[in-house]
Structure 1
Amino acid sequence: MKTIVELNETWEIRSFEPFAALNGEQLETGGWIPTHVPSQVHEVLLREGLIDDPAAYGKGKECLWVAEQDWIYRTVFKHTEPGKKAYLHFKGLDTLVDIFLNGTHLAYHNDMYVPIRLEVTELLRESNELVLHFHSVHEFIKHAELPEEWQGKMRPSRLIRKSEHDFVDYLGPKPYVTRVGIYDKVLLEVIDGIEITEADIAVKLSDDYRQGRIGFKVSGLGFTDGSVLKVQVRDPDGQLVEERELPLRGGVDGSQDRTWSETAELTVTQPALWWPRGHGSQPLYEVSAAVWNVGEARDRVVKRIGFRHVRMAKPFDFEINGRRITLWGAQSAQIQGITHCWNNEKSNRLLDLLENANMNAQRIWGGADRYDDAFYDEADRRGILLWQEFFHDYGMFPDSREYRELCVKEAEYQVKRLKHRPSLLFWCGGNECFMGAEYEQPGVPYIGGAIFLEDYKRVCETLDPDRYYHINSPYGGAYCNDPLAGDTHSYTNTWYVPGADYPIMIAEEIRTSPPAVKSFLRYMGEDKAWPADYSGMITSRSPYPWPDTWTERTSAFGWKKIPPIELFYDSDSLESAVYKFGAAHAYYLRNIIENNRRGKPSSNPEGERICKGHFVCRWNDSWQVIYGSMIDYYLEPYMPYYAVKRAYEPVLLTFDVQNFIYCWAVNDSADDVAGTLHVRLFHPSANAFVNEIKRKVRVGAGESKLVCDLNEFKQFSREYILFAQLVNEHGDVVSRTNDFVDIEKKLRFPEAKLHLTMKGNVLTVTTDKFARCVQLSGSDQGDEFGWLFEDNYFDLLPGEVKRVRILGSHRSGTITAKPYYSPLASTIEMAGNPDKGGN
């Protein structure tokens, strides 16, 4: 059997003069720092205390020297199988690197997005020295010359196939941190006479869903007569449902390097269907291909697949297994800032948060890193649909033959690697490449367009013809960001965008707000979070809508992308400022998402739902920044996250407050829903409901329905609160909502007192008066972080019973609940006596 040894331990690194020639004597000098891999230079230096955390305020500048140096990685490893064909497999090198084994130069690698595999059979000894010389990309850029026709139209860093966000501060910090080093596994692969070099698997489901077909093309190297290929399919319970055995053919007799390639098609009758999250289960079949010789398996490839039928009748109008699926999700950023190394624990935590937020989709942004196989395993298992982009972000790109060849190589690797995934919905060329050029260089011919219009399109059509390829995001229509024809990015805060109210697809919805106070203080410090001389006033002379110190923690003109803070009370403290921005952010996202969920104006309730999906931006923070994320640097969700969670609920009640007030019911669940709709007016001063409308309601799966208007209430005070509940025949609340008919800045809220009880990990909250924005927080011996509440920052009316699961890492501690406008906080202990109430 093929032997795979991970060469992850006993490495050491040291800095080196940029682009100097490397020789043996230099390797014997001191200054080596022990490490393991995958591990990039900044995280090694931070772990050893040799740099301060570049995420800390002002520390990014002190780390600039790291990327201005070359860096050497070195290890010594044993080899105990001489004579067998062997390879060194580098799964992730970042980025310009010369590779040496036992003093012999093996290769130069210049693309961080693709692995490199090198045969080393003749060079291996019992003890081996492996050296990787990473060259300074900054030094490379200093000496690089852009052709005249590219100058002023793209950054010199575009000459390198490396993350764009190693050269800009969009994700933070200021100035940027340019990563370098080994970010994925290094493997020694020893071949037992024969190996599989590629296993191309295509999965199809018949139109009637009764037959699944699995097309194989398995290629390899080396065999003797009598070698066979065995392919098997096992169902989700592990039972063998289909297999095939094929004798290997090909190559030249007598050669140890004989190549071979075999194709086959296996069928599965009545396959269990794979569904997106919220619409059914996610059964996964195991497909394996193994080469056998002399009665032994010499190499094996195993992949998991799912059977689903995807149809796109119109742009972004997807049907899966005959059911229309709208996409409610988020656009992710890089998982970590200091390194490109994959953190699976952090990724899974973000996926948990995504599921808690009622999302069924994730957009893998062109500015993000290459995601690990473990992420796609989870997406398949959880039923999360993926919008997968190639690695390009904002503006023009080189159009040289060499550069295009690198991009094609990347695309071929990605498509072959991921095409069998049931979670993968469609491919996309990149993020804001054409739109960025339209903004920055209006009227200038686009450079590099053939990468997206020809190269990637050809790769996808050749290797994965049954999956949609989208040229770029955004793309389509009279201009790239046209919401009437393609997908659109929400720039309505700084641009007038015709048709923005009812777009076909919002691929990015972004507004800026700071995280919760506890996180903000942790990475700003009290003095910078709220300077002593700051009044909170915003005047015509104010350069920013917040303290000047905040601007050091934002990017991409984040101060121009603020939500409608003018609807909320002025701030005179850090707490009130964080609330104002967070509540405005939540208000904006709630309104825009609910409008998109309705998908059509109340003046045309029988029309088609125009909007096919919505993605908030960004999902997570790579660094400590003030921008638009739902999850902060410490993996803490805050106010906008919970607004999105409620707006993405599969069954949604929503008010459209216009010239008239309408109540809608939207059902994006898998089943029809029915019950009685109660629409009521609540008088906060009298602390009582004063009027009610009842309607019998039935809303089909995938339907958006205007249920009633509120005209029979006639005129009423703007201080009244709108409240609606959909109750099924069993008396269960299917959905609820409340809303205002005036801006919050004009409303006065009572001093509500909450009552808390606890059973197991479920907190129950009731209130004596209307409670605006109930915030839950926890403390476990002073630790305020790692508390994940199923819901938070919610409104609560008298008579309602709110149950919230505690989902975070803490199993004990004090939970506090407090409405924002009330001075009355309630506490309860989690653990010890979980049924005891608190006040």
Structure 2
Amino acid sequence: MKLITELNEGWEIRQCVPSESLNPQTGELNGEHGWIKTAVPAQVHEILLKEGLIEDPALYGKGKECLWVAEHDWLYKLEFSGLSGRKQGDRTYLHFRGLDTLVDIYLNGQHLAYHNDMYLPLRVEVTELLQETNLLLLHFHSPYEFMKHAEYPEEWTGKIRRSRLIRKNDQDFTDYLGAKPYLTRIGIYDRVCLEIVDGMEITETDIASRLSDGYGQGSVTVNVHGSGLVAGASVLITVAGPDRQTAAQYIGFVHSDSAEAWSHNAELAVNRPQLWWPRGYGEQPLYEISVSLVANDETKDSVVKRIGFRDVQMVQPFDFWINQKQVKLWGAQSVQIQGITHCWDDEKSNRLLDLLENGNMNAQRIWGGADRYGDSFYEEADKRGILIWQEFFHDYGMYPDTKEYRELCRREAEYQVKRLKHHPSLLFWCGGNECFMGAEFELPVVPYIGGEIFLEDYKSVCETLDPDRYYHINSPYGGAYCNDPLEGDTHSYTNTWYVPGADYPVMIAEEIRTSPPSMKSFVKYMGEARAWPADYSGMITSRSPYPWPDTWTEQTSAMGWKKIPPIELFYDADSLESAIYKFGAAHGYYLRKILENNRRGKPASDPDGERICKGHFVCRWNDTWPVIYGSMIDYYFEPYIPYYAVKRAYEPVLLSFEVQNFIYMWIVNDSASEVEGTLFIKLFNPVKNEFVQEIRTDVRAAPGESRLVTDLNAFKQFSREYILFACLIDSEGGVIARTNDFVDIEKKLRFPEARLHMDINGDIVTLTTDTFARSIELSGDHEGDEFGWLFEDNYFDLLPREVKRVKIMGKHSKGTIRAKAYYSPHITEGGFER
């Protein structure tokens, strides 16, 4: 049996300047010591931080103090035993799953390999080099020294960043995600393994599944590749159903003329397979495919993967039908999980997926500037029914077009496709983010350099290795220009760009506006003095360079001050609390309006027309560093107003007021079932604290239907201070959906000082109010810890006679829960204990 040993413990690292000479026999530099003990995977910055040798680069000003780290070379050293468990004839390999990025590798003084692509693993045979005790040395070279001396054609000047000479995450060289001025990571970011192969091994397992006979028959095609050869060896393949019972089995003998490489193909039939569905449309049954290599009654190697049977058709751009049901994509675009390291973190990833599910999303776009996500992420997406828009590792603008560079990119794509193609959650591939759009915007008449990577290389890889999946050239792409909302996908920067046809796009791949996080997070990483300078008035005049204090500009990126939401609709801020609310509420308001419009998908003038918009992705989903930008989840994993506005706008059954020349009431049903009930539309007078008019009608909406139910002309004219309210009730009195809205801007409204009543029973908070309560915030505290609380819903409005029940989530099992409407001074408290 193949023996895999992870070489995690016993490592040491040390700094060296690029010009120092290295003794690969000892790992010493000029006889000096100074090694730091560590374990891997871990990159240099996180090791130095743990040892107290640098301050946290996330703190203001500290990133600049860390620039020296990547300007030096770094050595990783490990002594290990290499003979344990080996037999005569066994082959042994060192497998480096993630190296960042330019590294020479030595074993016992022998140069093993040079590696120059952080997205690719490296596996090297070391059978003849191993001794009783071994010295493994990794010499990571400074990317900045490399860029100084690398060949850079004159025609690339002003078009291709020098950092793109290296196949390394480009965000390591910019402040876009928030690191100031940037943070360039270096070192080992994934596992290092010693692999002992007993005669034969499986090197690759390619699995594809299909449906036929009206979904009554499933087929699993397995292509197994390997090395080594033992007479009489066979491949055993077992398909286990969701009930763990065997659904199909195959055994076949391995034949090859060469021990260097062999392959074996098989197809297995599964009768009446259970269908895998996206979240909200059904269950996610997974079938386990076990592939074993057997020789002399002994298992030499084995691979286990899980698949799901589903049929995906794209009938027009981004119009996906899964198992013959149209599925709209409502989701978010994620970035790197953490800033100081490229190491994958399952716990953080699962927390973000929990928030994604709570946010009523069924899709996630993995941005081209993100890290290589871990296998466990896709396994979780399979289990949860989250559809994945997966991009290759490119972001904004042009790329080198040399043969060597294209070859690295092609190998990356092949690795990614082979690694991920069996996942049912993987919806389609995409070449990268804003590569063509960025060049088109900044250099509109300059021919694109490196386009063959996306137009030819990646396209060929996907069509060859994964022909059943759609490949999208880039995001955005398609139409008369790269960001054309009428034909391709579009990135919404309509507050800074004029975009024809932006009201009803085919697909919004990014929707971004800028606001700070919640008060507690903002103060934690800004400090009160910088968060609200003593001399700042809160006024925005013609002489104001920014719409916020100058200190906020220091904490943003990508000209975030130009991407603000419509703060002019909200009250001017005279304090930090009111400023954070103004930006957050404006951000939530904007996202709610644009998402509801896109979910309706058509104007009231064409109520029977096609739903034009096929999906929507908010940007960004998460913060990698403390930053003021557009994320739903901040650096401390705390959601704020925009997150909850998106959650409500993504409700599977949506009630939506469209306030135009007339006021219309819409229902949108993106659930898997028909909905039916009685719709109550009411006008509420907040001054008299009573409902003054009502429309009642029976409503039915089929799955996938966007329907204009009625206008509100029966109300005739009414005061703009009135509040619109709608509620859909089923036959048993249960609430299917509800909404409320305003007819005027918030800045012109006056809100009552609501008093809330709160009951806590287990992990459920029940709230009622004496009068209209605007933006109720739920917060928690346990012995001074205000972080890590999560509520199923938050920052919501509540009307009299409504009962709101909210589940308490997050890490805390006890504490104090507080509830307060924003415009009210009254705070309601209650004790909580699970």
**Are the counterparts in 2 of residues 19 and 135 from structure 1 also a CA contact under 8 Å?**
no
Q: 2:121 is matched with which residue? A: 115
Q: 1:60 is matched with which residue? A: 63
Which of 146, 157, 160 is residue 154 of structure 1 equivalent to? Answer: 160
**Are the counterparts in 2 of residues 173 and 553 from structure 1 also a CA contact under 8 Å?**
no
Q: Secondary structure at the match of 2:810?
A: coil
Which of 118, 130, 141 is residue 124 of structure 1 equivalent to? Answer: 130
- Using the alignment, how far apart are the partners of 2:179 and 2:158 within structure 1? 25
Q: Secondary structure at the match of 1:515?
A: coil
Correspondence list, 1:164-313, <5 A: 164-206=170-212, 208-252=214-258, 257-313=259-315
- Using the alignment, how far apart are the partners of 2:728 and 2:704 within structure 1? 17
- Using the alignment, how far apart are the partners of 2:42 and 2:613 within structure 1? 43
- Using the alignment, how far apart are the partners of 2:559 and 2:393 within structure 1? 23
**Are the counterparts in 2 of residues 619 and 630 from structure 1 also a CA contact under 8 Å?**
yes
Deviation at 1:259, TM superposition (A): 2.4
**Are the counterparts in 2 of residues 14 and 33 from structure 1 also a CA contact under 8 Å?**
yes
Q: Secondary structure at the match of 2:155?
A: coil
Deviations 1:488-525 (A, max 9, x none): 00010100000000000000000000000000000000
Q: 1:351 is matched with which residue? A: 353
Check if 1:432 corresponds to 2:434.
yes
Q: Secondary structure at the match of 2:501?
A: coil
**Are the counterparts in 2 of residues 651 and 665 from structure 1 also a CA contact under 8 Å?**
yes
Q: Secondary structure at the match of 1:431?
A: coil
Correspondence list, 1:371-386, <5 A: 371-386=373-388
Check if 1:50 corresponds to 2:58.
no
Q: 2:637 is matched with which residue? A: 635
Deviation at 1:327, TM superposition (A): 0.3
Q: 1:762 is matched with which residue? A: 764
Q: Secondary structure at the match of 1:806?
A: strand
Which of 752, 755, 773 is residue 754 of structure 2 equivalent to? Answer: 752
Deviation at 1:144, TM superposition (A): 2.3
* Letter of the 1:553 counterpart: Q
- Using the alignment, how far apart are the partners of 2:317 and 2:216 within structure 1? 27
- Using the alignment, how far apart are the partners of 2:593 and 2:684 within structure 1? 21
- Using the alignment, how far apart are the partners of 2:116 and 2:532 within structure 1? 45
Q: Secondary structure at the match of 2:278?
A: coil
Deviation at 1:20, TM superposition (A): 3.8
* Letter of the 1:9 counterpart: E
Deviation at 1:82, TM superposition (A): 5.3
Q: Secondary structure at the match of 2:790?
A: coil
Q: 1:837 is matched with which residue? A: none
User: Runs of 4+ in structure 1 displaced over 6 angstroms?
Assistant: none
- Using the alignment, how far apart are the partners of 1:251 and 1:113 within structure 2? 33
- Using the alignment, how far apart are the partners of 1:186 and 1:281 within structure 2? 36
- Using the alignment, how far apart are the partners of 2:582 and 2:326 within structure 1? 38
Q: 1:448 is matched with which residue? A: 450
Deviation at 1:151, TM superposition (A): 1.2
Deviations 1:359-379 (A, max 9, x none): 000000000000000000100
- Using the alignment, how far apart are the partners of 1:541 and 1:813 within structure 2? 47
Q: 1:484 is matched with which residue? A: 486
Deviation at 1:145, TM superposition (A): 3.4
Deviation at 1:487, TM superposition (A): 0.2
- Using the alignment, how far apart are the partners of 2:748 and 2:599 within structure 1? 28
Q: Secondary structure at the match of 1:577?
A: helix
**Are the counterparts in 2 of residues 113 and 162 from structure 1 also a CA contact under 8 Å?**
yes
**Are the counterparts in 2 of residues 82 and 125 from structure 1 also a CA contact under 8 Å?**
no
User: Which ranges of structure 2 fall in alignment gaps of 5 or more residues?
Assistant: none
Check if 1:10 corresponds to 2:10.
yes
- Using the alignment, how far apart are the partners of 1:823 and 1:383 within structure 2? 42
Q: Secondary structure at the match of 1:243?
A: strand
Check if 1:671 corresponds to 2:673.
yes
Q: 1:618 is matched with which residue? A: 620
Deviation at 1:148, TM superposition (A): 1.5
**Are the counterparts in 2 of residues 772 and 796 from structure 1 also a CA contact under 8 Å?**
yes
**Are the counterparts in 2 of residues 99 and 131 from structure 1 also a CA contact under 8 Å?**
yes
Q: 2:75 is matched with which residue? A: 72
- Using the alignment, how far apart are the partners of 1:366 and 1:218 within structure 2? 30
- Using the alignment, how far apart are the partners of 2:87 and 2:624 within structure 1? 45
Q: 1:778 is matched with which residue? A: 780
- Using the alignment, how far apart are the partners of 2:515 and 2:192 within structure 1? 41
* Letter of the 2:317 counterpart: P
Q: 2:733 is matched with which residue? A: 731
* Letter of the 2:121 counterpart: P
Q: 2:523 is matched with which residue? A: 521
Which of 704, 714, 717 is residue 715 of structure 1 equivalent to? Answer: 717
Which of 633, 652, 659 is residue 650 of structure 1 equivalent to? Answer: 652
* Letter of the 2:44 counterpart: V
- Using the alignment, how far apart are the partners of 2:805 and 2:247 within structure 1? 45
- Paired residues, what number? 828
Deviation at 1:207, TM superposition (A): 5.7
- Using the alignment, how far apart are the partners of 1:595 and 1:766 within structure 2? 30
Q: Secondary structure at the match of 1:303?
A: strand
Q: Secondary structure at the match of 1:121?
A: coil
Deviations 1:515-545 (A, max 9, x none): 0000000000010000000000000000100
Deviations 1:624-682 (A, max 9, x none): 00000000000000010000000000000000000000000000000000000000000
* Letter of the 2:593 counterpart: N
Q: 1:496 is matched with which residue? A: 498
- Using the alignment, how far apart are the partners of 2:741 and 2:805 within structure 1? 20
- Using the alignment, how far apart are the partners of 2:399 and 2:381 within structure 1? 31
Deviations 1:2-38 (A, max 9, x none): 0000000000000011154421462552110010000
Q: 1:39 is matched with which residue? A: 42
**Identical residues among aligned pairs (%):** 71
* Letter of the 1:377 counterpart: E
- Using the alignment, how far apart are the partners of 1:21 and 1:362 within structure 2? 47
**Are the counterparts in 2 of residues 91 and 114 from structure 1 also a CA contact under 8 Å?**
yes
Deviations 1:392-434 (A, max 9, x none): 0000000000000000000000000001100000000000000
Deviation at 1:281, TM superposition (A): 0.4
- Using the alignment, how far apart are the partners of 1:740 and 1:137 within structure 2? 54
Deviation at 1:185, TM superposition (A): 0.1
- Using the alignment, how far apart are the partners of 2:562 and 2:763 within structure 1? 41
Q: 2:366 is matched with which residue? A: 364
Which of 138, 157, 167 is residue 144 of structure 2 equivalent to? Answer: 138
Q: TM-score, normalised by structure 1?
A: 0.98
- Using the alignment, how far apart are the partners of 1:35 and 1:813 within structure 2? 37
Deviations 1:137-192 (A, max 9, x none): 01111222311221110111110000010000000111100000000000000001
Q: TM-score, normalised by structure 2?
A: 0.99
- Using the alignment, how far apart are the partners of 1:54 and 1:409 within structure 2? 33
Change (3 A) 1:132 1:535: same
Q: Secondary structure at the match of 2:222?
A: strand
* Letter of the 2:522 counterpart: F
* Letter of the 1:38 counterpart: P
